[in-house]
Structure 1
Amino acid sequence: MSKKPEKAALTSATIEEQTAAFLKSGGAVEYVGKGKSGQVASSGSKQINLKE
């Protein structure tokens, strides 16, 4: 059997390089508090009301 490449190490290195390039180009990292998604809601609630 052949060995599989170590994807985790490769992925981590790639993410690190992309993050460094992003910050170097003037990008900024925004802290999002615990329990928050960081996404802006584009529509109202998507819950289904079965009583109607």
Structure 2
Amino acid sequence: MSTKPAAKIVAKPKTAPAKRKADAAVATSESINDQISAFLASGGEIQSIPNGTSGQTYGKPASKAPAKT
């Protein structure tokens, strides 16, 4: 009779490697507030857009004009 070599069993990790946690939301909020302040200080203006208003346009796309030769 022939004997087969024993199969080597390799254990796979049950969990994925740990991922780096994101920075606290406070840092992001502070950064956004700083950017808003800089924008307003440089003469920028904030527009208020009513709820439900979308920049999405519906309908057929505009046709391309033929290339001039």
- TM-score, with length taken from structure 1: 0.61
Q: Which amino acid aligns with 1:18?
A: Q
**Structure 2, gaps ≥5 residues long:** 1-20, 61-69
How many residues matched?
A: 40
Q: Which amino acid aligns with 2:51?
A: K
Q: Which structure: greater helix fraction?
A: 1
**Structure 1, gaps ≥5 residues long:** 47-52
Larger radius of gyration: 2
- TM-score, with length taken from structure 2: 0.48
Cα pair distance change 1:40/1:26, threshold 3 Å = farther
Percent identical pairs in the alignment equals 38
RMSD: 2.3
